[in-house]
Amino acid sequence: EFVAFCAFHHRLMDDPIVFPGQPGASHSHEFMGNTTADAHATLETLLSGDTSCDPVGDRSSYWVPTLFTADDQPVAIEHATFYYLVHVDDPTTVQPYPLGLKVIAGNAKATQPDEAAHIKWSCLGAPDSSTGEIVTCPADSKLELLINFPDCWNGEDLDSADHKSHMAYSGAGACPATHPVVVPALQFKLRYATSGAPGMRLASGPGYTAHGDFFNAWEESALANRLQCLHKLEKCGPAGYPQTSELTNHLYLPMITR
């Protein structure tokens, strides 16, 4: 695996994938990574923009719906870790994302918890929730959200009409024939500045509507170098070199406030 630590940067009612060119058309999102990301984001603007990520070679944009308390106050994301993993049997088959690839995981329109297969709410250090519901943690713990992204690409399209059909999840250690290109399995791990409380909701609705968006703008050389970590099944830190699991799990960027 390899990781990027990308601090929260800004909050907007924009969605560069679902509502491109339409500022204010979306529910509220928390943006991490690229500091210029908004409704008008393109690959070119991202590549020329700054980043809140370590490493700085990751100029991608990552976003999730804003979490609100019962009295409609936004809850800050304290730590945001983006893991790039391998979920196929042959790690040497993993290829880099194409520049400009747009990927969504989770279902903003889910109507029941069992539609939340790829998202998990949990408490720091505790087993993941399997219900898709926001959990209330012990007072000395923190609420976490895990989002797992598809790791198979159709090899042709950077996006699709439903923003999902060009991607698929691997199964039984391989990608389906319809989506033969293996890419890194991205995982968002977000820690909130709360232990959770009754009545919390996302801008998109209940906890099971949690979803994440990824707009790839990794510098090609930086991403290519880190693929070696996946091919060799090494655990690499943000610098792209093998590090101890303890370092990887506890090194966080301080939150940037705006």
What mean pLDDT value characterizes the chain?
Answer: 93
- The helix/strand/coil state of 32 is strand
Give the pLDDT of residue 131: 73
Average pLDDT over residues 202-207: 97
**Cα–Cα distance measured from residue 200 to residue 173, given in angstroms and rounded to the nearest whole number:** 37
What confidence tens digit (pLDDT) does each residue in 151-178 have? 999 999 999 999 999 999 999 999 999 9
Q: What is the pLDDT of residues 44-54, one digit of tens each?
A: 999 999 999 99
| Of the candidates 125, 146, 148, 121, the residue with the CA atom closest to the CA atom of residue 136 | 121
Q: Is the dihedral of CA 83, 190, 238, 36 positive or negative?
A: positive
Q: For the segment 96-138, what is each residue's pLDDT rounded down to a tens digit? A: 999 999 999 999 999 998 878 899 999 998 876 667 899 999 9
Compute CA distances 195 → 69, 122, 139, 180, whole Å.
11, 10, 6, 41
Q: Tell me, what's the pLDDT at 89?
A: 98
Contact (CB, 8 A) for 83 and 146:
no
Three-state DSSP at 229 gives helix
Q: Which residues of 20-30 are buried (b: 16+ CB within 10 A; e: fewer)?
A: eeeeeebbbbb
Lowest mean pLDDT: which of 14-23, 220-229, 241-250?
241-250
196 pLDDT above the threshold of 70: yes
Dihedral sign computed on CA atoms, order 32, 34, 39, 42:
negative
Residue 160 pLDDT: 98
Question: What's the confidence (pLDDT) of residue 254?
Answer: 43
Query: Which DSSP symbol is given to 61?
Result: E
pLDDT of residue 100: 98
User: Does residue 256 carry a pLDDT above 80?
Assistant: no
Helix (H) or strand (E) holding 144, with range, is: strand 143-148
